[in-house]
Amino acid sequence: MRNLNLLFFLLLALHLSSVLSWKKDEFRNCNQTPFCKRARARKPGSCSLIARDVTISDGDLVAKLLPKNPANEEDRDEIKPLILSLSVYQDGILRLKIDEDPSLGPPKKRFEVPDVIVPEFSSKKLWLHRLSTETINGDAVPSSVVYLSNGYEAVLRHDPFEVYVREKGSGHRVISLNSHGLFDFEQLKSKGEGEDWEERFRGHTDRRPYGPQSISFDVSFYSADFVYGIPEHATSLSLKPTRGPGVEDSEPYRLFNLDVFEYIHDSPFGLYGSIPFMISHGKSLGTTGFFWLNAAEMQIDVMGAGWDAESGISLPSEKSRIDTFWMSEAGIVDAFFFVGPGPKDVVRQYTSVTGLPPMPQLFATAYHQCRWNYRDEEDVDHVDSKFDEHDIPYDVLWLDIEHTDGKRYFTWDKMLFPHPEEMQRKLAAKGRHMVTIVDPHIKRDESYHVHKEATQKGYYVKDANGNDFDGWCWPGSSSYPDILNPEIRSWWADRFSFENYVGTTPSLYIWNDMNEPSVFNGPELTMPRDSLHYGGVENRELHNAYGYYFHMATADGLVKRGEGKDRPFVLSRAFFAGSQRYGAVWTGDNSAEWDHLRVSVPMILTLGLTGMSFSGADVGGFFGNPEPELLVRWYQLGAFYPFFRGHAHQDTKRREPWLFGERNTELIRDAIHIRYMLLPYFYTLFREASTSGVPVVRPLWMEFPYEEATFSNDEAFMVGNSILVQGIYTEKAKHASVYLPGRQSWYDLRTGTSYKGGMTHKLRISEDSVPAFQRSGTIIPRKDRFRRSSTQMVNDPYTLVIALNSSRAAEGELYVDDGKSFDFEHGTYIHRRFVFSDGKLTSVNMAPTSPGKSRFSLEAVVERIILLGHPHGHKSALIEPTNHKVDVELGPLGLQWGGSSAVVTIRKPGVQIADDWTIKIL
């Protein structure tokens, strides 16, 4: 009976949530979150801690933090000092840890997130040997100063306690912690008689067995014009103040992984993933970063100028300083300061801690077609053949939850999908792949082998009473694997073997959804905070990393399945710092609205800044039915997302690209074609991301860090360093204002028309495309022939588009490997650098050439070279080393684009893409 009631409640809730918009009341705001409310009530200067017993130990600076003047003498014995350590790593990285003193017998060890910091990071530690002290600004007690890198030092101010990084020489502060004295650390306690620590929210009780255990502190960024980062929120790229004079909607940015139905497009509310990493940028000092490795709920305030007017605290760089306030419910302080000084330096520093995104398979960088749900095999076949009929390439067909036998993952509905292997093989014959969904909620059904095994082995997360946690999700009553446990991760990974996941073939990959985790009848639609994971870790401590571990275990499973020879592809909805190592993410359940199209750009840019380079938004919007114009504009913009997938809710009308009349089909085909043309460029950018952390799509200021006009621009973005894309976010738009940065000119990607840099252009726009430009001084590799899928384009010839700058020079790169295996890790790839100067194009090898390394062989040739900004009139070009001449003529910029002016073209130069050669224009 209880179950029936629950089922009714669930169905009602689901129904309501599909017809109503975001239900704010389902979720806690700061005032309803006691740790947030307490922290926000603190006044600047209320921290009374000072650093004592400062020494060097094991290469770190260590100290004790204790109150300067305990309230009364008896309290002295009660004082439990905190232990602080400061460590320095190569490349200007400072790490600060603060925790309880284990020798004082806390009731339990506080949770320190394992498995996020990459193992190599520890070898970058610089061992401190010597401590210097310095009296700064007349302080009564000297501060400790440690070397950080060539240009920077770290300072531990003892009294009052403060940590900061300063420039050597000038002494200018770069970033600091506790400068406003807001630091607070609630130590664990054992419950005394009659103490009530329970917290209640909408009928749920959190027992909080260790009492309040939150941590909060202020962080200041100096000479900063803006701060960015801390996804996931549907909001602007530069983070607006959440507190201070004139701030009305006073909620902090929340980091708490939640399944939010129909989220709104402009809110600090926390969505599916959390990365507690913030970046500041300013024109004078450059870029700095701050990362707090902590997986508990976090709330972050960005303080508006003047918020501390009454505090009496006056810090240097008053004008261009941005203060922030960080609050977390549990865990420890494990914080990293990155000194930059450039935007790409900060991203490199952050990914040296949390890891680089790996090289995806080529197919994963192409277009994906998804829908909740493709009904059955016939539907799959139909959709697949329609793409061919309409000459639209696509690489992956996705199956959502309805393909399973009653939402039992790793199974197939036998009526609808009786021949899954044959279905996949048919797709594979056209070079196409399939993705199926595997969620973490396991149906509690004795006859379901996964549940049976997990129960027998004791592999589920426990509730506060120690029983298997039982929550509601798609299959009804469900339990959730305790994925923090490495043994359980390994078991989960094995579920993906071809023997265990019956009906799968090597062309099938995985989608992990609902892994926040989503629990329909849980507090805020998730797992209760007092539920228990491996090692007695409470969900409150681990929550934001739960989905991360799923992503990790699933990706490991696919690597195992392919015997270490096949790169995995796993899309995850939840994420945490470090998730970039396991695959792609998307921005969840957006809506078919222009505002959601608009906000997809800052959301993806923010993800890229925080390591998650491989991300996208559901093209078309998940909820609702887009007008054809919106759908077309979404394809035109989405073609430039790193992860490009169309997806829709099951209640929406079908919206495959050919369903909106011939003209719209043509426009969508064109948008998808652009992506396929640019795949060589995209793949090269994925390589760059996998070696440097620099994201595939970037905010303009990452490429133009000195141009203030770019700092808060989140309507446009850069794809790599060479293409600028401006979205169109309104209906029937006839004009767009586009700011083109830099001193050099830009070339319209389709027409070749050139535009001056360093100014805003008011452009007439058509329905054909969104404005996109190639930056002069760059060379873009393209493939201009369209096939059914990216894998069928492998041997196709290349086009090189050279956009000359005012010195008639340009540079670009091309990276190619087999698109599938890990052989590239042993040097089996092609990496070319193209340089154009003095009228000559040179192709230079960038790949290792050491003997014994097998070279990646590719027969593809260069079929066309296009020169933008080159004077007409030249007749021929000389190719070396073959010493032959070819004609220089005028030709189209894109083979299928009408309306473009004729551009200087070298057709059929007859050179192999993999070889060294030069082409001199005569």
Q: Say how far apart CA 822 and CA 641 lie, in whole Å.
A: 25
Smallest separation, CB 14 to ligand NOJ (Å): 11
Residues contacting residue 467 through CB under 8 Å, at least 6 positions apart: none
Q: Say how far apart CA 534 and CA 517 lie, in whole Å.
A: 16
Two tokens at 418? 């009786």
Nearest to 741 by CA among 709, 719, 773, 772: 709
Closer residue to ligand NOJ, CB minimum distance, 400 or 541: 400
Q: Say how far apart CA 109 and CA 102 lie, in whole Å.
A: 7
Smallest separation, CB 399 to ligand NOJ (Å): 10
Two tokens at 472? 């509601």
Closer residue to ligand NOJ, CB minimum distance, 226 or 622: 622
Give the β-pairing of 273-274 and 575-576.
Answer: parallel
Smallest separation, CB 439 to ligand NOJ (Å): 7
Give the β-pairing of 798-803 and 778-782.
Answer: antiparallel
Nearest to 748 by CA among 801, 789, 800: 801
Strands (E), 530-583: 532-533, 537-538, 570-572, 575-576
Smallest separation, CB 590 to ligand NOJ (Å): 9
Closer residue to ligand NOJ, CB minimum distance, 589 or 656: 589
The radius of gyration of the chain's CA atoms, rounded to the nearest angstrom, is: 28
Among 463, 556, 589, 714, binds ligand NOJ (CB under 6 A): 589
Smallest separation, CB 536 to ligand NOJ (Å): 31
Count of residues that interact with ligand NOJ, criterion CB under 6 A: 10
Smallest separation, CB 254 to ligand NOJ (Å): 19
Smallest separation, CB 400 to ligand NOJ (Å): 5
- From the list 513, 541, 618, 629, the catalytic residue is 513
Burial-class residue 214 by CB neighbours within 10 Å (0-12, 13-18, 19+).
buried
Closer residue to ligand NOJ, CB minimum distance, 14 or 79: 14
Count CB atoms within 10 A of the CB of residue 563.
7
Token pair 């309507």 is found at: 715
Is 513 known to be catalytic?
A: yes
Which residue, judged by CB position, is nearest to ligand NOJ in the bound state? 372
Smallest separation, CB 260 to ligand NOJ (Å): 10
Question: What is the distance of C-alpha 86 from the center of its chain?
Answer: 28
Task: Mark 640-659 with x for binding to ligand NOJ (rule: CB under 6 A) and - for no binding.
Answer: -------x------------
DSSP state string for 72-88: STTHHHH--PEEEEEEE
Q: Say how far apart CA 399 and CA 503 lie, in whole Å.
A: 13
Closer residue to ligand NOJ, CB minimum distance, 409 or 686: 409
Task: Mark 700-739 with x for binding to ligand NOJ (rule: CB under 6 A) and - for no binding.
Answer: ----------------------------------------
Closer residue to ligand NOJ, CB minimum distance, 350 or 372: 372
Nearest to 566 by CA among 364, 352, 849: 364
Residues contacting residue 72 through CB under 8 Å, at least 6 positions apart: none
CB 609 within 8 A of CB 550: no
For residue 397, what are the β-bridge partners? 369, 434
By CB under 6 A, the residues from 745 to 784 that bind ligand NOJ are: none
Smallest separation, CB 514 to ligand NOJ (Å): 6
Closer residue to ligand NOJ, CB minimum distance, 326 or 367: 367
Nearest to 268 by CA among 295, 249, 290: 249
Q: Say how far apart CA 504 and CA 74 lie, in whole Å.
A: 68
- From the list 516, 618, 715, 817, the catalytic residue is 516
* Helix boundaries (H) for 333-468: 343-354, 377-389, 420-429, 449-457
Residues contacting residue 912 through CB under 8 Å, at least 6 positions apart: 859, 860, 861, 862
By CB under 6 A, the residues from 614 to 633 that bind ligand NOJ are: 622
Closer residue to ligand NOJ, CB minimum distance, 13 or 118: 13
For position 573 contacting ligand NOJ by CB under 6 A, the verdict is yes
Q: If DSSP codes are grouped into helix, strand and coil, which group holds residue 832?
A: strand
Closer residue to ligand NOJ, CB minimum distance, 437 or 718: 437
φ, ψ for residue 65, nearest 5 deg: -110, 125
CA 426-427-431 angle, to 5 degrees, is 120
End-to-end CA distance of the chain: 87
Task: Mark 429-448 with x for binding to ligand NOJ (rule: CB under 6 A) and - for no binding.
Answer: --------x-----------
Q: Say how far apart CA 833 and CA 847 lie, in whole Å.
A: 10
Burial 847-856 (b: 16+ CB within 10 A, else e): beeeeeeeeb
Smallest separation, CB 649 to ligand NOJ (Å): 7
By CB under 6 A, the residues from 503 to 532 that bind ligand NOJ are: 513
Closer residue to ligand NOJ, CB minimum distance, 251 or 400: 400
Closer residue to ligand NOJ, CB minimum distance, 622 or 729: 622
* C-alpha separations of 412 from 349, 406, 418, 451, 480 in Å: 44, 9, 8, 16, 20
Nearest to 275 by CA among 603, 699, 594: 603
Closer residue to ligand NOJ, CB minimum distance, 262 or 323: 262
For residue 764, what are the β-bridge partners? 735
Closer residue to ligand NOJ, CB minimum distance, 218 or 513: 513
Smallest separation, CB 553 to ligand NOJ (Å): 19
Smallest separation, CB 474 to ligand NOJ (Å): 7
Q: Say how far apart CA 555 and CA 546 lie, in whole Å.
A: 15
Is 887 known to be catalytic?
A: no
Smallest separation, CB 259 to ligand NOJ (Å): 7
CA 546-614-507 angle, to 5 degrees, is 85
Is 184 known to be catalytic?
A: no
By CB under 6 A, the residues from 211 to 250 that bind ligand NOJ are: none
By CB under 6 A, the residues from 369 to 428 that bind ligand NOJ are: 372, 400-401
Residue numbers at the binding site for ligand NOJ (CB under 6 A)? 372, 400-401, 437, 513, 573, 588-589, 622, 647
**Catalytic residue IDs:** 513, 516, 589
